[in-house]
Structure 1
Amino acid sequence: MKQAGDSLSRVFQALADPTRRGILERLSAGPATVGELSDPFDISAPAISQHLRVLESSGLIERSTRAQWRVCTLRPEPLDAATEWVERTRGLWQQKFDRLDGVLADIQRGHVDPEHRGRRSRSKE
């Protein structure tokens, strides 16, 4: 599990930067050369190379050489793993929020005494 967690950490670290997210968005349209990827950004070639290294080490892109060109390709599998983790975590939190909504609704209806956590109020007859 530690290795999977480390992979996931690298993916989220890579996604944390807006330039890298922009590169991934461009690559979602298809493979691109390093020059094509750097065109929309006002940063140096070494900075683009560093971003590509981070993306490659996270497994989000693959780099290959075609003639004299370095071509980058998106690898969606790490994004799938990140999406699964986010959805699983969101589901756990959603369950907690749903329970909280139920407790708050009971309090509003007067079925729970807010001073006595979770205890139902006794009807006063």
Structure 2
Amino acid sequence: MGITKTEGFDTEVTEMSDILKVLGHPARLSILLHLINAPQCINGDLVGVLPLAQSTVSRHLNELKRVGLIKGSISGNNVSYCVNEELWEKVSLFFSSNLNQLSPKKCC
């Protein structure tokens, strides 16, 4: 892959861009939606929810953790995953404050 130039862009925009790249995969978006709708943190039952192998689910979970959208805590042999509510609030606020300002302009 080539190197993406991010110098000169606002830090928040760069962070949101990375988050959107991660959410651009249907498996990761499905994982996040499942965690958002779960009544509690999830312990390894994501394989039963997705049509993917355990190793593939783990890779997607790692990407979600890398950008901070989810948190994982280890207890013995189990890992519990939850949505990082603080970052999710930041993402929601970013979109509500920036994208709602956009209004389509007549073109042509």
Q: Give the alignment's TM-score, normalised by structure 2.
A: 0.73
CA RMSD of aligned residues (A): 2.0
2:41 paired residue number: 31
Deviation at 1:5, TM superposition (A): 2.6
Q: Does 1:8 align with 2:32?
A: no
1:90 paired residue number: 99
Moved more, 42-51 or 52-61: 42-51
Q: Give the alignment's TM-score, normalised by structure 1.
A: 0.65
Distance 1:52 1:67 in 2: 18
Point out the structure with the larger helix share. Answer: 1
Deviation at 1:59, TM superposition (A): 0.6
From the CA coordinates, give the structure whose radius of gyration is larger: 1
Q: How many residues align?
A: 96
Residue by residue, what CA displacement relative to the aligned partner does 1:43-71 show, whole Å, maximum 9, x if unpaired? Answer: 12221111001100111111111121011
| Percent identical residues | 20
1:73 paired residue number: 82
Structure 2: state its 5+ residue gaps.
1-8
User: Is residue 11–residue 78 contact of structure 1 (8 Å, CA) maintained in 2?
Assistant: no
